[in-house]
Chain A
Amino acid sequence: MAITTYREAIRTAIREALERDPQVFLMGEDVGRYGGAYAVSKGLLAEFGPDRIRDTPLSESTFVGAGIGAALGGMRPIVEVMTVNFSLLALDQIVNNAATIRHMSGGQFSVPVVVRMATGAGRQLAAQHAHSLEGWYAHIPGIRIVAPATLEDARGMLWTALQDPDPVLIFEHQTLYNMEGALADDAGSVDIDRAAIRRPGNDVSLITYGGTLGKTLQAAETLAGDDIDAEVIDLRSLRPLDMPTVLASVRKTHRAVVVDEGWKSGSLSAEIVARLAEEAFYDLDAPLARVCSAEVPIPYPKHLEDAATPQPPAIVAAAREAVGRHG
């Protein structure tokens, strides 16, 4: 075991991919000389050279689309987009090309591109650098969406994503980059299909992913102090959703709270709640609940940013409500 950070775990994964597969390269804004906006790729330019660590102009649509084209041309590109908000400039390429080419070509072409981007609030970056739009992407058939929330997944999801013949978008919550912990020396690739039970429990299922996993686990500890035994599910893959794991949990606990930093309206949390209503209605002993971001662009001041996003007390309150124990 070695102590590492989420950032270093991703860097190790990128380095390993570059070493293992000559078709892999990294491209994006400031990934080279600058070392990456979140310092993920720091040092890789010196190690691998400018052909494989490619600084791009500020042209999101073209460098993401070039990743798609390079993937069609036999490469395995890792494209870094600085934040999910900037990825909207590349939405055309992701939604109209990456997600459709396999289908439109009748299965003749696959697009094995991996697009990584930072998402989420928590660092006072205001309304154009802090949104959680991964739920939007999860709406689109033809792409896979994953959200590593642990060091193991930060280390292990990339290689699996690169092996996948279809486009994979990896959402890295920006508050996680400094997360520190122990990672096994032989940590390697992990699946990108299944949800994980991060804390087993019997009384209520807390369903979350990415940046809110830590807050949800914290809430579960608080609930344990009240003798409420919460099960915490880390979705890991937002598309496809591992509903069997979610349903098995809810059929055991009979109660569910979805914690999602996206907004409620038209969201991933709405999707999960709808599926539970469709598929587990008669297993439920309490109304389904959600803890999401307030319906406001993320504000700059810390107290308002905190108020806008899911926090442990709100998760605790929602779970208590679900099990019928208030205050």
Chain B
Amino acid sequence: MIGDSPERMSAAAPVAAAPETTTGPDVGRERGLHLLHEMLRIRRFEEKCAELYSAGKIRGFLHLYIGEEAVAVGAMQALGRDDAVVATYREHGHALARGIAMDRLMAEMYGKHEGCSGGRGGSMHVFDAATRFYGGNAIVGGGFPIAVGLALADKLQERPRVTACFFGDGAVAEGEFHESLNLAALWKLPVLFLCENNLYAMGTRLERAQSQTDLAAKARSYLMRADPVDGMDVLAVEAATQAAAAAVRSGEGPVFLELRTYRFRAHSMFDAELYRDKLEVDAWKQRDPIATFGSLLEELGAATKSDVAALDASVSDEIDRAVRFAEAGAWEPVEDLLKDVYTPAERRGTSPRGAA
């Protein structure tokens, strides 16, 4: 974890990694390559999505996570099979890192019936019962209460689970942020609040939206543990979330992490990026979580250039397969339009499928 450095908030320059967070020496080859692989999968998947968007294969809103991959990948390492994830509309990275198959995710991007949400949700509404992935929520702040409720269910049923709630710095301005942090702290609920602070709520920079730009301080005011973390360093994120998840799991109540990161691409495909300086974007790109981690692995001798090339090739194959899967997918018959609004009569009175 890095020190609390509010001065960084007003500066365009990216946060400098504190030395203790780059715990390079204990990154083994296998783990290092795994983390790199996971980040690359997200990066290349989204690059392909941008291309497919331009080609008209993907429509609607498309929000890319490029630049923030270390957050989702690092954080997911702390979660077990039975834990839950609540994410935002910029959730492709979380979905892939959580283990939702890339082909089903790509089919969802297309709106095909084979998609992980049956094609009904699209880019912003990824759901998956098998991995306890509860969206894909496109109302900023709307996921907080859901996460609190999932955690309440775990607490009432005495299950040692964690609900990871991802949200951006923009959501911190929503009333539901305050209501939910308060309730989670008051009831000591097992929620891991993961704030992805990429400095911009769409085009509104943090200091233009927040009187207090130290976001961890807000969480601390609800008497929960809260720390800033270098969100461009996958090892720092992994270490911080593992410690936080362990605390949450042990019944200490919620923990808040502010993962300081940056979105390299536009907010969505319709954003001309009038609100930020290209130099600022370039400065952050110097801290590209994938490039820096790849270099670190090479420096440490944990991986070679050819290892990285091999990873790239395998990711490329996976993406090709995912695109083929999505292309070959079926459009849901229009006759089924009204499906899944209500539970079908024959299944009413039984436990809902997918409920934990």
Contacts and interface: CB of A to CB of B under 8 A. Distances in A.
A97 B142 contact: yes
A148 B341 CA distance: 24
A97 B176 CA distance: 14
A74 interface: yes
Interface residues of A, number: 44
B211 interface: no
A61 interface: yes
A73 B350 contact: no
A70 B150 contact: yes
A264 B128 CA distance: 42
A108 B150 contact: no
Interface in B338-352: 339-343, 347-352
Interface residues of B, number: 53
Given A62-B145, A65-B176, A105 B349 contact: no
A96 B176 CA distance: 14
B127 interface: yes
Contacts of B148: 62, 65-66, 69
A12 B88 CA distance: 40
A72 B145 contact: no
B194 to A, nearest CB: 16
Contacts of A62: 144-145, 148, 176, 179-180, 182-183
Contact of A72 (B136, B146, B339): B146
Which of the listed residues B146, B182, B340 has the most CB atoms from chain A within 10 Å of its own CB?
A: B146
A130 B202 CA distance: 38
Interface string A43-74: 00000000100001101011111111111111
Interface string B72-83: 000000000000
A25 interface: yes
B253 interface: no
B348 A103 contact: no
Contacts, number: 182
A22 to B, nearest CB: 9
B146 A69 contact: yes
Which of the listed residues B151, B182, B340 has the most CB atoms from chain A within 10 Å of its own CB?
A: B340
A164 interface: yes
Interface string A76-116: 01000000000000001100110001111111111110000
Contacts of A166: 342-343
A109 B134 contact: yes
A105 B135 contact: yes
Interface string B159-187: 00000000000000001100110110010
B275 to A, nearest CB: 26
B342 A104 contact: no
Contact of B139 (A68, A72, A75, A96): A96
B149 A142 contact: no
Contact of B356 (A51, A73, A92, A107): A73
Which of the listed residues A92, A104, A111, A112 has the most CB atoms from chain B within 10 Å of its own CB?
A: A104
A68 B116 CA distance: 21
B48 interface: no
Nearest to B191: A69
A95 to B, nearest CB: 10
A161 B127 CA distance: 25
Contact of A101 (B135, B147, B154, B356): B135
Contacts of B180: 59, 62, 65-66
A61 B175 contact: yes
Contacts of A165: 343, 347-352
B120 interface: yes
Interface of B: 84, 115-121, 125, 127-129, 134-137, 139, 142, 144-154, 156-157, 175-176, 179-180, 182-183, 186, 339-343, 347-356
27 contacts: A62-B176, A62-B183, A63-B183, A65-B146, A65-B180, A66-B148, A68-B146, A69-B148, A69-B149, A69-B150, A69-B151, A70-B156, A74-B157, A75-B156, A92-B176, A93-B145, A96-B142, A97-B146, A102-B343, A105-B127, A106-B115, A106-B116, A106-B118, A142-B341, A165-B351, A165-B352, A166-B342
For the complex of A and B, 6 pairs with smallest distance between CB atoms = A69-B149, A65-B145, A106-B118, A73-B153, A110-B352, A105-B127
